[in-house]
Structure 1
Amino acid sequence: MITRKAPPQPALLVLGDMSIQGNIKPVRSLTEPLQVAMDNGGKRALIPIENKRQFLEVNPDVLEQVDPVFFGDMRQAAFKALGLT
């Protein structure tokens, strides 16, 4: 499988939780995790699609530094983390 040979992208932050049923759970707030990511050199963040509405609350300075990528399921998140989509 091609995903076994592909390393995750550098400076990548992955947000969200997965329930025992396999559902993606959103984070409570995007502001703090994205600020911490930016302060520590993060360049890209995988964010659960359910958090899209909260995106307007994030500081514009953070948005200039951290590229958001939304995902709806774990398979999609894995491919995006590996840069395969």
Structure 2
Amino acid sequence: MGGKQMTIDDAVRKRINELLSERNMNICDVSLSGGLTPSTLYDFMRGKTSHIQIKTIKQICMGFQITLTEFFSKEYFNDYE
């Protein structure tokens, strides 16, 4: 396949960015709707923190009003380091 392979953190960031764009939302909207502090999500998205916890992803899903299954439905989650 060539090039650098995506990490799971990269895949999660990519999915969050897709959902933000699709739903015309921002990090603050999603964070507050899901019960997170915006800084938690900002830090992850900027790479200041890595290895996001599944409970945090669940809260992000709540903010987007989707299930974990919907969040992880993209093919690129099957091909990461």
Under a length normalisation based on structure 1, what TM-score does the superposition of the two structures give?
Answer: 0.28
Which structure shows the bigger proportion of residues in helix conformation?
2
Structure with more contact order per residue of length (Cα contacts < 8 Å, sep ≥ 6): 2
